Amino acid sequence: MRDIEDDAMAEGAVEVHCPWCGEPHTLEPDGSGGASQEYVEDCPVCCNPWLVKVRFTTSGPADVTLERAQ
C-alpha cells in the first residue's frame, strides 16, 4: 500500500504564478513534510514573499496555492 508521501514524491513539479508579478514558476512539492504544509518562499523574479500552501491526497496531484505573504 502506498502512503501520502509516496504519492507526493511521484507527482513531480507543479507550475504556479506569482501573486505579485504574475511570472510563472515551477515548484516541486515534497511529501516528506506531511500531508498539509504552509511555508513562505520569495519569488525568484520580483523577490516578494509568497505564502505557499500545499495539500497532498492519496490520489491525484498535490494542490498548491500561492497567496501574497505580508
Residue 18 burial (CB count, 10 A):
18
Mean predicted confidence (pLDDT) in 22-32: 93
4 pLDDT band (50/70/90 cuts)?
very low
Residue 19 clears pLDDT 70, i.e. is over it: yes
Contacts 24+ apart (CB under 8 A), 21-26: 21/45, 21/46, 21/48
Residue 9 clears pLDDT 80, i.e. is over it: no
Instruction: Report the candidate in 12, 29, 11 with the shortest Cα–Cα distance to residue 66.
Output: 29
Domains of the chain, residue spans: 4-68
Average pLDDT, whole number, for the chain? 85
**Type and span of the H or E element at 10:** helix 4-11
pTM: 0.77
pLDDT in tens, 30-51: 888 899 999 999 999 999 999 9
